[in-house]
Amino acid sequence: MSDQFEVQAEVREDMGKGASRRLRRHADKIPAIIYGGGKDPQPLTIIRKDLEKSLENEAFYSHVLSVNVGGEAQKAILKDLQRHPAKHFVMHADFLRVSDKVALKVNVPIHFLNEEACRGVKLEGGIIQHQATDIEVSCLPADIPEYIEVDMLEVETGQIVHLSDITLPAGVTSTALALGEDHDLAIASVIAPKGSATEDEEDVEAADAGDDADAEEDSED
């Protein structure tokens, strides 16, 4: 990961919901907190425009950050954001301290490749559906990928791409797959367009199954 991100923060002394509202409305700052790493949680304030500018970069969400508090740099990742339910601006940020030698869980965004050239789309008229936009992985901080690529080029109509189909970088594992085959989640699929022959066949099969069930009930009566 080549990008380096620094977050300038100050210790927050004034606590409570009222203080947080005043901070956002009058000081144009955002309340935050940094925790973990065997240290006490530390309430912070961050200048709103600086954080929002950083959030425009996708890499900010999956990189190890340098959170500078009073001249002390602390390694951390962005763990959570609370946004306004209607206006979607950031209301609070959570940072988790990390250690170079301790693995952590982090959600990494997916980049889907070759969607327009996808076999199921270009040759068969299918439509791509995304079942996930990120993947939770476990790895050391230095191994966190900026994103994970999923190549859709050879995916055909009716085919589903699962977690197990994705090649993760060295040192990176899927937390879901670590729980067993039952957790091999769907990531994306190519479905037939509505009104296609494939969909019509499925509807006929469903109708036939219903007729068979009705016939069985009649015979029982």
Going from N- to C-terminal start, the domains of the chain cover 5-98, 105-198
* CATH superfamily membership of 105-198: Ribosomal protein L25, C-terminal domain (2.170.120.20)
Reported as a single tens digit per residue, the pLDDT across 115-154 is 999 999 999 999 999 999 999 999 999 999 999 999 999 9
| Residues whose CB falls within 8 Å of the CB of residue 143, separated by 6 or more in sequence, listed in order | 169, 170, 171, 172
pLDDT tens, residue by residue, 57-112: 988 988 899 999 988 899 999 999 988 788 777 888 999 999 999 999 999 999 99
11 with 50: CB under 8 angstroms? Answer: no
Q: Which DSSP category does 23 fall into?
A: H
Q: Which superfamily does 5-98 belong to?
A: Ribosomal Protein L25; Chain P (2.40.240.10)
> How many CB atoms neighbour CB 76 within 10 A?
21
- Confirm whether pTM is higher than 0.85: no
Q: Which two tokens stand for residue 39?
A: 């240290």
What's the rounded Cα separation, in Å, for the pair 91 and 27?
Answer: 13
Q: Which residues of 84-120 are buried (b: 16+ CB within 10 A; e: fewer)?
A: eeeeeebbebbbbbbeeeebbebebebebebbeebbb
Q: How far is it, in rounded angstroms, from Cα 195 to Cα 126? A: 11
